[in-house]
Amino acid sequence: MACKTPGCTGEHGAGTIRHTVLYQERSIVLHNVPADICPDCGDVVLTEETTIVIEDLLRTNAGSPETVFVYEA
């Protein structure tokens, strides 16, 4: 997938990232999140499926004091 960052000619490749999201005023860190990553500028794209899994994970753990999770599809 070609990178959408203006001026960048990188090609995104599949990888995993550490993804931080703000949820209920808490900063949640997710490890091992699959993403398409540009090796040139570092632009990251999450698929719709991945964001749905993340939302489910956040909802499931809404009452947990934990702020670090490992992504599991």
Choose between 39 and 64: whose C-beta lies nearer to Zn ion. Answer: 39
At its nearest, how many Å lie between Zn ion and the CB of residue 61? 32
Binding footprint of Zn ion on the chain (CB under 5 A): 3, 5, 8, 10, 38, 40-41, 43
Choose between 9 and 27: whose C-beta lies nearer to Zn ion. Answer: 9
Choose between 13 and 70: whose C-beta lies nearer to Zn ion. Answer: 13
Return the amino acid letter for 21.
V
